[in-house]
Structure 1
Amino acid sequence: MKREPLVIGDLTAEIPLVQGGMGVGISLSGLAGAVAKEGGIGVISTAQIGFRDPEFDEAPIETNLRCIGEEINKAREIAPGGIIGCNIMVATKRYEDYVRAAVKAGADIIISGAGLPSKLPELVRGFRTKIAPIVSSVKAAAVICKLWDRHYQTAPDMVVIEGPKAGGHLGFREEELSHIGDLDYDGEIRKIAEEVRQCGMKYGKKIPVVVAGGVYDRKDVEHCMDDLGADGVQVGTRFVTTRECDAPAAYKQAYIAAKKEDIVITKSPVGMPGRAILNKFLQEVKEKRKPASRCRQCLEKCNPKEMPYCITDALLNAARGKIQDALLFCGANAFRAERIETVREVIADLM
């Protein structure tokens, strides 16, 4: 069954699929460009995006801001005319500068979570860049819609609903995630979609709703789009084990080797629960603190002296293939990976 395109204002993705933004260094220009080339929306994570640059250690933020444009340009070389977006966490130190850098570099859409992107409309004013908050509850959706309406007389261009099976940082309490099967999340998705619909009606536009978290195969896509009425899906974990993914080979193999019982919930220094693959690193940080090697200015609210470990150190190790000393973020279905595929094969299977 051919799916309808995903229409976001004057942007049209022929395939209603958004590739999840995964940092550090997991979804950069290689993966985003490949997805955009196939007709989906390719997304670059700006989290410590300049980590490979020789100037990164001395000037991390300035290097990151410069590398945003460089990665967007590389993705456009892979997919001329494709849709390229950026995932920017609200928790990022100097968040506003990251958004401005992405907008000036020509990002088609900014997808923003890990906090409420309350000022996002102001930061893109005067540009064609679309804006999409990530929400996990009807309360969060209502708050952001009302805030943007009251302060900026605008509404989201798209809304991403991220469920409890997603990878990385999660917008749920730890006790909720330990009883995932008991959560009536389909009901929450329907409530969020209705809230978004009402918001769009006020502005005379349809705001597409994209469902994320645990989308791994065609059956998941059919459930989200046919049963729940979503306009599209966001997929992250499934793209990690593709040839085009920017992650190192050892990272991809960790997914392939993982068993269901290896996928665990861990408390991140960010203050949110996260989902990751159990390894030596996670076992060690349960028992003792791992001091930061140096501060690379990643999070707005961070006191390096109090953190159990440095999340940048842990994610940089993952991006560099030091798997046993790394935080290996993943979605709930990461254990289902069996082989390395191409982006085209994954999209064909999903759609």
Structure 2
Amino acid sequence: MFDCKLSSMLNIEYPIIQGGMAWIADSSLAAAVSNAGGLGLIAGANAPVEWVREQIRKTKELTDKPFGVNIMLLSSNADELAKLVCEEGVKVVTTGAGNPGKYIDMWKSHGIKVIPVVPSVALAIRMERCGADAVVVEGCEAGGHIGELTTMALVPQVVDAVNIPVIAAGGIGDGRGVAAALMLGAEGIQVGTRFLVAKECTVHQNYKDKVIKSKDIDSVVTGRATGHPVRVIRNKLARQFQLLEKENAPAEKYEELGKGALPKAVVNGDVEYGSVMAGQIAGLINKEQSCKDIIEEMFTEAQAIIKNFQNRI
């Protein structure tokens, strides 16, 4: 049932990509997702190039399955990371925060599949014209940096606009979300928040507990006034950001408040004054599981839902 274009293109068993979450997506998580039949990702973000190289090599020791690297194109070291993935024989690159056009020929010459993350139809079309192999279409239900459109509204519009595979992201955390994404025309899904509580995820336990305990209304978007909205789980830091917005504070105040907030939560476990990035789907998550169990559970549920629907019609 899940042997689709995306699975064949990436040589994976299940059409699922793990989100390239900064400070979180390392070799431990990437290898576990790939070993479980999905596509694991290492987060490049603003990490030192040698750290990313080390994580790539560790992942190769932990799995013989395909995996990828996520590169944020606004990062100061994006050029170096773009070359690094070629040097290290990475099979897939996902990108965010920019246009990967200037790197695509180089990546393609090294056999790398290029999958940009996009928040709109226009950007999806542009990425296809640039030579992207697929696009991740991310709705505002997702955690971290987000756009304005919801997954349900955005995915079918992009599916209608491009000919390359579309991967749905944002608000997908169980088999119902998988089935819904496929019904909207997506070839697969990208999941971040649910993998936060994977046993192989090295994020601080306080972070995992915060996600597991969160309810449907605990997600909040901060930073809209700066033009760079970020979805997080509500805490004292988020309330401080909301106060800045009410005060129409200058951008410098936001930058000062947010500096180092993500590692404060991820590494140090400060879930009150650190940035606990997570999507709206967090309210559905209530337990830690292995990556294998997460993926198998999601796709077993999806298969049952789709078969039930087929029987009803």
**Same-fold call, TM cutoff 0.5:** yes
Offset, 1:211: 0.8
Structure 2 residue aligned with 1:140, among 123, 138, 147? Answer: 123
Residue pair 1:6, 1:14 contacting (<8 A) in 2 also = no
Shift of 1:328: 0.8
Match of 1:316 among 263, 272, 275: 263
Partner of residue 42, structure 1: 40
Answering whether residue 20 of structure 2 is matched by residue 21 of structure 1, we say yes
The aligned amino acid for 1:212 is A
Give the residue type in structure 2 aligned to 1:231.
Answer: E
**2:153, 2:146 → 1: CA distance?**
18
Preserved CA contact (<8 Å) 2:223 2:241: no
Are residue 257 (structure 1) and residue 201 (structure 2) matched?
Answer: no
- Would you say 1:211 and 2:168 are equivalent positions? yes
Which of residues 18, 28, 31 in structure 2 aligns to 1:30?
A: 28
The root-mean-square deviation of aligned C-alpha atoms, in Å, is 2.4
Following the alignment from structure 2 to structure 1, what is the Cα–Cα distance between the partners of residues 226 and 109? 32
In the alignment, what sits opposite 1:170?
A: 146
Question: Which residue pairs with 1:292 in the alignment?
Answer: none
Q: Which segments of 5 or more consecutive residues in structure 2 lack a partner in the other structure?
A: 300-313
Note the C-alpha offset of 1:187. 4.7
Partner of 2:280 in structure 1? 332
For 1:45 and 1:311, the matched residues in 2 are separated by: 19
Alignment-derived partner of residue 179 in structure 1: none
Deviation of 1:245 after TM superposition, in Å, equals 0.9
Q: List alignment gaps of at least 5 residues for structure 1.
A: 50-63, 149-154, 177-182, 198-206, 290-302
Whether 1:190 and 2:156 are equivalent positions in the alignment is yes
Deviations 1:108-129 (A, max 9, x none): 1110112333323144253111
TM-superposed deviation, 1:5? 4.7
Taking the TM superposition and a 5 Å limit, the aligned residue runs for 1:215-226 are: 215-225=172-182
State whether residues 68 and 102 of structure 1, in contact with CA within 8 Å, keep that contact through their aligned partners in structure 2: no
Higher helix proportion (structure 1 or 2): 2
- Alignment length (residue pairs): 294
| Aligned-residue offset at 1:94 | 3.0
**Kindly tell me: are residues 314 and 272 of structure 1, through their superposed partners in 2, closer, same or farther at Cα, counting changes over 3 Å?**
same
- Which residue number corresponds to residue 228 of structure 1? 184
Report the secondary structure of 1:128's partner residue.
coil
1:192 partner amino acid: V
Report if the CA contact (8 A) 1:65-1:98 is conserved: yes
- The answer to whether the Cα contact below 8 Å between 2:137 and 2:154 also exists between their aligned partners in 1 is no
Superposed, which structure 2 residues align to 1:1-351 within 5 Å? 2-7=1-6, 11-24=10-23, 26-49=24-47, 64-80=48-64, 82-146=65-129, 148=130, 155-172=131-148, 185-197=151-163, 207-225=164-182, 227-267=183-223, 271-287=227-243, 307-309=254-256, 311-320=258-267, 321-351=269-299
Kept in 1, the 8 Å contact 2:117–2:135? The answer is yes
1:12 Cα offset (Å): 1.2
Q: CA deviation at 1:144?
A: 2.6
- The answer to whether the 8 A contact 2:145-2:230 is kept is yes
**8 Å Cα contact 2:155-2:185 kept in structure 1:** no
Describe the shift of the 1:100–1:270 C-alpha distance in structure 2 as closer, same or farther (beyond 3 A). farther
Whole-Å separation in 2 of the counterparts to 1:315 and 1:73: 25
Seq. identity, %: 30
Pick closer, same or farther for the CA change 1:7–1:144 going to 2, 3 Å: closer
Distance 1:288 1:196 in 2: 40
Contact 1:84-1:108 within 8 A present in 2 as well: yes
Pair 86,242 (structure 1): closer, same or farther in 2 beyond 3 Å: same
Q: Secondary structure at the match of 2:99?
A: coil
Counterpart-to-counterpart distance in 2, 1:277 and 1:106: 36
Scaled by the length of structure 2, what TM-score is found?
A: 0.86
* Alpha carbons 2:13, 2:38 under 8 Å: kept: yes
